[in-house]
């Protein structure tokens, strides 16, 4: 069942959280709401001390990254502008999930839209909290083998994406040198590399 998406800690449900929502939400405030996220200040109460504290929480959709492999063991990456770093970033193709969407379907869809490539059915690799201090989003990484170019990319009108093929054995060096430096992508790629016999990072 290793290809069935799994929520973080699904096999080992955590003990009851040490803080719970305070009251019925009357202490909460929505600070900003737009097409991408809802930013809120939410009040929690410590089960230990009874103390209440307001936390900032950005409600943002879950994301997926697709590690797409060609038959000759090249990895398909995309380079695109990222506003918060003000740099172009080299990453596995990916994007946000629609509500309730299976990350394997979403990842295959994003791969096709951004690169025009498609391949074998997607295999689930990992799901992690993107930054559980402040963002509700989880990031899933999937693997799609035997990808081929089957169509033209279909980009949103503000997306400008360059496709790059990189030998799989070069991925550790690209991470080490800082050429792949998006933490959520690096977490998925390192997880994937660990499962490969030659996956050592120098």
Applying the rule CB under 8 A, the residues between 37 and 66 that interact with a second copy are 37, 39, 42, 44, 46, 48-49, 51, 53, 55-58, 60
Positions 109 through 128 that interact with a second copy (CB under 8 A): 127-128
Choose the binding region for a second copy from 66-74, 103-111, 112-120, 177-185 (rule: CB under 8 A): 177-185
Size of the site for a second copy (CB under 8 A): 74
Positions 21 through 40 that interact with a second copy (CB under 8 A): 21, 31-32, 34, 36-37, 39
Q: Assign 6 to helix, strand or coil.
A: coil
Choose the binding region for a second copy from 66-74, 113-121, 163-171, 193-201 (rule: CB under 8 A): 193-201
Q: Is residue 200 a contact point for a second copy (CB under 8 A)?
A: yes
Choose the binding region for a second copy from 69-77, 79-87, 110-118, 143-151 (rule: CB under 8 A): 79-87
For 20, the token pair is 């719970």
Separation between Cα atoms, residue 181 and residue 37, nearest integer Å? 24
Q: Within 13 Å, how many C-alpha atoms sit on residue 78's CB side? A: 24
CB 19 to a second copy: min, Å: 4
Q: Is residue 72 a contact point for a second copy (CB under 8 A)?
A: no
Q: Is residue 3 a contact point for a second copy (CB under 8 A)?
A: no
Q: Within 13 Å, how many C-alpha atoms sit on residue 176's CB side? A: 9
Separation between Cα atoms, residue 57 and residue 31, nearest integer Å? 10
CB 92 to a second copy: min, Å: 14
Q: Which is nearer to a second copy, 118 or 173 (CB)?
A: 173
For 109, the token pair is 């869809």
Separation between Cα atoms, residue 1 and residue 124, nearest integer Å? 10
CA 130 centroid distance within chain = 7
Is the Cα torsion angle 180, 80, 63, 120 positive or negative in sign? negative
């Amino acid at each position: 069942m290793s290809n069935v998406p799994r929520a973080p800690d699904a096999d080992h449900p955590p003990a009851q959280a040490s803080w719970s929502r305070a009251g019925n939400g009357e202490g909460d405030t929505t600070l900003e709401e737009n097409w991408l996220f809802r930013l809120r200040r939410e009040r929690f109460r410590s089960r230990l001390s009874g103390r209440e504290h307001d936390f900032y929480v950005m409600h943002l959709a879950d994301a997926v990254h697709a590690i797409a492999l060609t038959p000759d063991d090249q990895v398909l990456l995309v380079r695109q502008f990222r506003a918060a770093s003000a740099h172009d970033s080299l990453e596995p193709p990916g994007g946000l999930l629609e509500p309730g969407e299976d990350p394997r379907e979403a990842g295959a869809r994003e791969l096709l839209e951004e690169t025009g490539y498609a391949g074998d059915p997607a295999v689930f690799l990992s799901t992690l909290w993107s930054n559980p201090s402040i963002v509700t989003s989880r990031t899933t990484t999937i693997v799609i083998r035997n990808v081929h170019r089957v169509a033209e990319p279909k980009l949103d009108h503000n997306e400008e994406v360059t496709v790059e093929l990189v030998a799989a054995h070069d991925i550790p060096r690209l991470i080490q040198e800082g050429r792949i430096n998006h933490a959520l992508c690096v977490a998925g790629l390192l997880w994937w590399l660990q499962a490969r016999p030659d996956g050592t990072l120098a």
